Amino acid sequence: MNAPGHDPAIEGNRLLSALVAEDRERLLGVGEIVLLTQKQTIYEPNAPQTHVYFPGECVISLITMFNDGGAVEVGTIGCEGMAGLPLFLDATSAPVLVMVQLPGNALRVEAAEFTALVQHSPRARATMGRYAQAFLSQVLQTAACNGHHQIVPRCARWLLMTHDRVGAQQFALTHELLAYMLGVRRAGVTEAAGELQQAGYIRYGRGRVEIVDRAGLESAACECYGTVRKVYEELVGTSNEKSSVR
């Protein structure tokens, strides 16, 4: 379903909220609200990016694909940001697969409209630049995390990041998807989720996960979660009101 105009979930996008009213209204006016489905491809690797997306309820993943068929998530985008940063950086593509991790709506804006805004509005350009820096910090921290930390704290970090973006205690999540996002075998995901569930931090089954003890889950996560969150809040804005984090 595509529809122009305003939507409370879209207007809750923190990056849009960080723009001055004039710039935000321009994007809302030229964009369209689209419903994105789970596992929908937004951009193919190295393919031209013709639109940018500001998620409202959906969560989008950047995934590096390997020649042997393996894959791992290197970045997560939700209501705190946007997909399509190469367009801001004067590029047209990136060597990653960009796909929908969790379904929901997003504001889609044509590349030409977006680039015109950032070229003519110094304030929008500065805001997008700070977001680009925050997102780069997430990607770098994720790379370090994947190579250094064990599966349980990484799984806890991923669940916390997703919880921040969906703003709900429960969300759809299969072993297959979580294994894909973390770049590990399903057996490893089963063991990690089981450990977090046994500790009482989550309930996990039938393709859904429920965050039961947010503070406990934070205690199980590696330092990378807090590091990335702190950088984002310093550069772009305060904590997401949709999240249960205080």
Residue-level pLDDT at 53: 98
Over residues 131-168, the pLDDT tens digits come to 999 999 999 999 899 888 899 999 999 999 999 998 78
Q: Three-class SS of residue 220?
A: helix
Instruction: Assess contact for 138 and 189: CB atoms under 8 A.
Output: no
> Which of 33, 55, 40, 163 is CA-nearest to residue 100?
40
**Backbone dihedral region of 126: left (phi > 0), alpha (psi from -120 to 50 degrees) or beta?**
alpha
Instruction: Assess contact for 12 and 242: CB atoms under 8 A.
Output: yes
Residue-level pLDDT at 188: 86
State the average pLDDT for the chain: 90
Q: Three-class SS of residue 206?
A: coil
Query: If you search the block for the tokens 């990056």, which residue do you land on?
Result: 15
Q: pLDDT at residue 239 above 80?
A: no
Euclidean distance between CA atoms 182 and 238, whole angstroms: 27
Over residues 174-212, the pLDDT tens digits come to 888 888 778 888 888 889 999 999 999 999 988 899 999
Environment class of residue 120 by beta-carbon count within 10 Å: exposed (0-12), middle (13-18) or buried (19+)?
Answer: exposed
